[in-house]
């Protein structure tokens, strides 16, 4: 059973009803539990890899973890599960990878509103079953917040070492994923799972 401390399911089910989605709340809840477990495992693995690299090799090497290893991790999960697992941002560093689709942008806006209303980012999730032109999907997103350690690569210029600034400028000429402050919404882990037609 999904914990009521998330403070989300009432809103999810209300939205499902308003959208006339043909799915039981139990189906959404069950799929959400699995998606949340996968998301948390991925974020823990990424966080440990990032911190280990930061400690051993410095922040410049940590950028490569985000740029290279994180997409490999999500691609591996996607292959294993048959899902599409991605990270999306409120402001993206790499437009080819971090830009959300219409559903994801709507959910990020909803997360931003919930944050402004006092909801906690670390427990903020949203899930629903949607019908799109090419089929039915279970869609899930978990918010990613900005922590103090993120500022080395995502904060203002005063927070970033010169070497980090130089690498970001060279590698991501269209980078917009800077200027964040702790506690802000950075983005989300997004899962899209295809469903069999009913």
Name 193's bridge partners. Answer: 138
Task: Report the 10 Å Cβ neighbour count for 39.
Answer: 22
pLDDT digits (tens, 9 = 90+) for 2-18: 333 344 444 443 333 33
Asked whether the beta carbons of 128 and 16 are under 8 A apart, the reply is yes
pLDDT digits (tens, 9 = 90+) for 132-191: 998 999 999 999 999 998 898 999 988 899 999 999 999 899 999 999 999 999 999 999
Name the token pair of 121. 């980012």
**pTM here?**
0.83
Cα pseudo-dihedral 140, 143, 144, 148, rounded to 10: -170
């Amino acid at each position: 059973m999904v914990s009521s401390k998330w403070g989300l399911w009432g809103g999810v089910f209300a939205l499902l009803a308003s959208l006339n989605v043909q799915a039981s709340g139990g189906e959404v809840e069950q799929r959400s539990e699995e998606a949340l477990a996968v998301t948390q495992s991925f974020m823990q693995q990424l966080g440990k890899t990032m911190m280990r690299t930061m400690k051993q090799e410095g922040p410049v090497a940590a950028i490569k973890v985000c740029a290279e290893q994180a997409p490999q991790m999500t691609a591996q999960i996607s292959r294993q599960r048959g899902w599409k697992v991605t990270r999306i941002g409120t402001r993206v560093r790499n437009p080819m990878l971090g830009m959300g689709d219409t559903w994801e942008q709507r959910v990020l806006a909803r997360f931003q509103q919930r944050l402004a209303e006092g909801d906690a980012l670390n427990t903020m999730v949203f899930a629903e079953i949607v019908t799109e032109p090419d089929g039915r999907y279970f869609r899930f997103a978990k918010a990613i917040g900005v922590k103090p350690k993120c500022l080395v690569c995502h904060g203002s210029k005063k927070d970033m070492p010169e070497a980090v600034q130089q690498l970001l400028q060279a590698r991501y000429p269209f980078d917009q994923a800077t200027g964040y402050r702790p506690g802000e919404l950075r983005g989300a882990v997004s899962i899209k799972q295809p469903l069999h037609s009913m």
